[in-house]
Amino acid sequence: MPQVTLTVNGKQHTATVEGRTLLVELLRETLGMTGTHVGCDTSQCGACVVHVDGKSVKSCTMLALQAEGASVVTIEGLAAADGTLHPMQEMFREHHALQCGFCTPGMVMSAIDLVNTHPQGITEQEIREGLEGNLCRCTGYHNIVKAIVAAWPLMHGKVAAE
């Protein structure tokens, strides 16, 4: 069986995988990154979103072997070593942008990429359109949108975090 070497949350890992192993399976089952959720297995819900080389990817649609040499960040890799939350995580907490929490890791990862790709500002409409690939059955998205709006200036250095 082939091996894949990738960096996950700053640590290099090498694993032996079957050719059909999905990145989400490698992360959850082999590396223990269970914050990345499997919701649908069909790329519809977004619960499995991680960052691969800085871009959000639905890890249920990517083979582990395709991540060879890549840098992967999961929800577990966002907080600082001292436990300080990433600004997006903090704004999700502050704005009550979660209920059951199942979609939250993928939603946060997608939201970070969305904010990073809009350095000049982002509208609520752009946020709603940008989150179309993430399904949340609990919140109605209102507080999620509020959290992303609040995180944008923090992530772009426009306001000091409190």
Residue 139's pLDDT is: 81
Residue 36's pLDDT is: 95
162 or 58, which is more confident?
A: 58
Query: Do both 68 and 16 map to the same domain?
Result: yes
What is the CATH number for 130?
1.10.150.120
Q: How far is CA 91 from CA 64, 111, 135, 145, in A?
A: 31, 11, 19, 10
Which domain covers residue 43, as residue numbers? 3-77
Nearest Cα neighbor of 110 from 131, 141, 87 is 131
Q: What is the pLDDT of residues 80-139, one digit of tens each?
A: 999 999 999 999 999 999 888 899 999 999 999 999 999 999 999 999 999 999 998 888
Residue 41's pLDDT is: 75
Query: Do both 63 and 99 map to the same domain?
Result: no
Residue 42's pLDDT is: 83
